[in-house]
Chains A and B, each alone.
Chain A
Amino acid sequence: MTSYLLSRTLQTVLTLLVMSVLVFVGVYMVGNPVDLLLSTTATPAERLQVIQSFGLDQPVWEQYWTFLTHALSGDLGNSFVFNQPALTLILQRMPATLELAFVALLMALVIGIPLGVYAGLKPKALVSKSIMTFSILGFSLPTFWIGLVMILVFSVKLGWLPASGRGETVDLFGVPVSFLTLDGLSHLALPAFNLALFKISLIIRLTRAGVMECLQLDFVRFARAKGLSETRIVLVHVLKNTLIPLITVIGLELGSLIAFAVVTETIFAWPGMGKLIIDAISVLDRPVILAYLMITVVMFSIINLAVDILYSIVDPRVRLEGDS
């Protein structure tokens, strides 16, 4: 296990290095942030001063070296725009995005798995066909459009739920969260469901396929021959086997939930990091872009690690490499 964790950590560090080089070179080639940040009326002296303060007068490899040495001590540089540490900027906004993503994931699981199981058990029933039609809609309708329609219906027409912001938050271990207050929850409902819709459809389809495949297998027939009730066969024998492919996909999808949150956050004015990164990219605010991507890489690595470990727990046939 130790050697496994070690190798995974090394892989993550390597990914971070490669990614930071790519971003450095990429942003360098796209353009000069100074052109975008300064007004056209700035004097050459002011210009030079800004360039020097950002360290942009150095050759690019030297800039990278400075970044790397600072990064090792936990300093990812100051934002060109806000002149605040990039890391602080992101960490301030991250909890909101993570909260949104996790609530959406939870919705996707709680709604998607039961519907998928039902559709898999009775593929010919009318209810199953409706579920599958719903999932096609969830797949094909664009997130932003559904978001707008949801605001129109639930906020404007019916006035049931608020359309923007996080609402009232309370601190949980020093991090502000919305889901513990009623007001927060009502603010969370629409954006989270909007974000979850695509995942619900995906999980329904995967679960349905998994259940249908599993029902054909010999051990299900043997479980019937043992005289077990259908409920037990489905809940114990079928579901645990169906979870195996689901876990991999859910892990990957959690990452994309965080990434896709950008659109939902914009529509519902959710104060997450999606808005921040979009702004940072448009002005080539390199420290923020880098810090955001590095955090994302670390987060993805942790999610994948969690998926692999979970996988080996659920499926005894999978052994982590280096685990004897």
Chain B
Amino acid sequence: MTSPVLSVSNLNTSFLVDGKWMDVVRDVSFDIGAKETVAVVGESGSGKSVTALSIMRLLSENNARLKGEINFGGQNLLDISQQDMQKVRGNRIGMIFQEPMTSLNPVLKIGKQITEVLVRHRGMTQATARAEAIRLLDKVRIPAARSRLDEYPLSFSGGMRQRVVIAIALACSPQLLIADEPTTALDVTIQAQILELIKVLQEEEGMSVLFITHDMGVVAEISDRTVVMYRGEAVETGTTQEIFQHAKHPYTRALLSAVPKLGSMAGTVQPKRFPIVDMKTGEAASVADTADTVEHDKTPILEVKNLVTRFDIKSGFFGRVSGRVHAVENVSFDLREGETLSLVGESGCGKSTTGRSIMRLTEAKSGSITVGGKDVRHAGKSSLLDIRKHMQMIFQDPFESLNPRMRVGEAIAEPIVTHGLAARGEVRKRVADLLTRVGLSPSMADRFPHEFSGGQRQRVCIARALALEPRFIVADESVSALDVSVKAQVINLMLDLQERFKLAYLFISHDMAVVERISHRVAVMYLGEIVEIGSRASVFENPQHPYTKKLMEAVPVPDPARRQIRRISNDEIRSPVRAPDFVAPVRKYDEVSAGHFVQVQ
């Protein structure tokens, strides 16, 4: 390797917390060579983002302390003044962040946000900077670049915003690009576009890339070398190939075993638990096989027929309907006891609205929903209360779905009390029992949500949902916000509960690999419609609809040997907003194999 572009040695970062200095990054060292991509991978709290921010010196100097050496272009970045550092940032090192929706200033035009960098670092005039900005937008493959300069961020989709952010970061042709989880907030097909774009631009510009991510699939897809971080330390560094094939550190092995791999379920019929690897020894505990839980002979617990949910968009003086969101369009499926049916699709496909319509958190427009033989859509207040005992919901964000001022014990007890399911004296015992069931200790009932980690909070949410002994649970992106190892544990818990109580899940997710692991059946949704539905094995092993195929191809494979070559498409996530006079076309379905239906185009 020629002399490295960036060389981090013995980086120590500590934060001032309640008057004490806490080490967040300890003795981290790595090099990035010319034109090389290095990934720093780890779970939340591993210090990977702090490492990136330390290199850029973006941490507040009042409560963050940096030690060690960061050599870049012949100088130690930790020694130079803030003024000199400003000349490095955005100029010789570009950086992009996770949230494209908030990285751009909402009240400044796109053009201005690009040109200000050029004016600052290149001393360009407004006119030349504008011309350069057009070139940059072309470079990140934004169609009709010239006309978009005077638009505000709000008229760009998430993926397009991330491209603008990349254009800004690359405006001054930096030697190094630091990308901090740049695709985490994006849909999987858009993620594929952005990853490909970064690869192509790296080639064109001849720059090095430092890629921060939690996603092993993305690591395998993009990086030459990988640094694995765990609790502030770089536990393993090596070529990506080595890390994936011969990981030495137990944590790396644990991380890799928890990563759901798309296609790893080929040949199995039942859902499969994740092997839980001991973080210290790296030994995987053996996984119990999952029993067949589906009650094929009984009538389904949930039947949805021709469900339609639309939202009117009103505008003008008289509140005229100017358009309609066709969120759910003619959706039918059923769910049996002990079965997991997954609804997959990208943002705006109507998967969450379907779940909410079933729970009657959103009113459907037409169609029928039957739970345990009872009509949900026309149920009155008291009978709805009754039906709701049978169906519960777990949401995506465990931080927002628990009341921060309520002890978790009270939160779990609330539905029991509301429905009068236990005598006053017994409630505490029930809560303790529920906490044990989800793998928490009963003594935790007196704690507040902020005292729990994300994974524990999601367990509390599951306990709360289980309080009513429901027959099925709508899990809306319930594991999406969790770290891989925690995600694996929560999924294992869900499978345990399914086996014990014959629970059925309507599992709503965008994550194909997790869906493959947990489902009995899968329904793929696109623009409010189900385009393909069938058993997990048939949909994953024999996908028929082009959208299903596209979705699966976009999933990054956590295997560096199987890198795919893709072209950068400019497909955007399409919007289900239609004109008010739009009539949804009648769809026909082909039965490819038993129970596997595909929409005919």
Residues of A within 8 A of B (CB): 3-4, 6-7, 217-219, 221-229, 232, 236-237, 240-241, 244, 314-317, 321-322, 324
Q: A3-B317, A218-B97 are in contact. Are A244 and B105 (CB under 8 A)?
A: no
Which of A217, A219, A226, A317 has the most C-beta atoms of chain B within 10 angstroms of its own C-beta?
Answer: A226
15 of the cross-chain contacts (CB-CB < 8 Å) are: A3-B317, A7-B317, A218-B97, A223-B105, A225-B56, A226-B120, A227-B86, A227-B117, A240-B107, A240-B108, A314-B107, A315-B106, A316-B152, A317-B107, A324-B315
Q: Is the CB of A315 within 8 A of B317?
A: no
| Interface: B95 (CB within 8 A) | yes
Give the A-B contact count at a CB cut-off of 8 A: 90
Closest B residue to A226 using CB positions: B90
**Given A226-B116, A227-B88, 14 new contacts (CB under 8 A):** A6-B317, A219-B106, A222-B95, A222-B104, A225-B95, A226-B90, A228-B86, A229-B120, A236-B108, A237-B108, A240-B107, A241-B106, A316-B152, A321-B315
Q: Is the CB of A316 within 8 A of B103?
A: no
Q: Is the CB of A237 within 8 A of B105?
A: yes
Contacts of B106 in A (CB 8 A): 219, 241, 315-317
Measured in the bound complex, the distance between the Cα atoms of B87 and A241 in whole Å is 25
Query: Nearest Cβ in chain B — how far from A229, in angstroms?
Result: 6
The tally of residues in B whose CB lies under 8 Å from a CB in A reads 33
Query: Nearest Cβ in chain B — how far from A171, in angstroms?
Result: 40
Partner among B94, B120, B317 whose Cβ is within 8 Å of the Cβ of A228: B120
Contacts of B120 in A (CB 8 A): 226-229, 232
Q: Is the CB of A225 within 8 A of B58?
A: yes
Question: Lowest 4 CB-CB distances: which A-B pairs, in order?
Answer: A227-B90, A227-B89, A226-B90, A316-B152
Measured in the bound complex, the distance between the Cα atoms of B154 and A229 in whole Å is 25
Q: Is the CB of B102 within 8 A of A217?
A: yes
Query: Nearest Cβ in chain B — how far from A13, in angstroms?
Result: 15
Contacts of B117 in A (CB 8 A): 226-228
Q: Is the CB of B154 within 8 A of A316?
A: yes
Contacts of A315 in B (CB 8 A): 106-107
Q: A225-B58, A227-B88, A227-B120 are in contact. Are A322 and B107 (CB under 8 A)?
A: no
Measured in the bound complex, the distance between the Cα atoms of B96 and A236 in whole Å is 20
Measured in the bound complex, the distance between the Cα atoms of B317 and A161 in whole Å is 53
Q: Is the CB of A322 within 8 A of B317?
A: yes
Measured in the bound complex, the distance between the Cα atoms of B96 and A218 in whole Å is 11
Contacts of A322 in B (CB 8 A): 315-317
Contacts of B495 in A (CB 8 A): none
Measured in the bound complex, the distance between the Cα atoms of B58 and A217 in whole Å is 13
Contacts of B104 in A (CB 8 A): 219, 222
| Interface: B91 (CB within 8 A) | yes
Q: Is the CB of A317 within 8 A of B152?
A: yes
Closest B residue to A324 using CB positions: B315
Partner among B89, B154, B322 whose Cβ is within 8 Å of the Cβ of A225: B89
Query: Nearest Cβ in chain A — how far from B306, in angstroms?
Result: 33
Measured in the bound complex, the distance between the Cα atoms of B108 and A222 in whole Å is 14
Query: Nearest Cβ in chain B — how far from A319, in angstroms?
Result: 9
Measured in the bound complex, the distance between the Cα atoms of B94 and A86 in whole Å is 67
Contacts of A240 in B (CB 8 A): 105, 107-108
Query: Nearest Cβ in chain B — how far from A322, in angstroms?
Result: 5
| Interface: B295 (CB within 8 A) | no
Q: Is the CB of A218 within 8 A of B99?
A: yes
Closest A residue to B153 using CB positions: A316
Query: Nearest Cβ in chain A — how far from B282, in angstroms?
Result: 36
Query: Nearest Cβ in chain A — how far from B68, in angstroms?
Result: 21
Contacts of A217 in B (CB 8 A): 102
Contacts of B58 in A (CB 8 A): 221, 224-225
Q: Is the CB of A222 within 8 A of B107?
A: no
Contacts of A218 in B (CB 8 A): 97, 99, 102-103
Measured in the bound complex, the distance between the Cα atoms of B58 and A224 in whole Å is 7
| Interface: B356 (CB within 8 A) | no
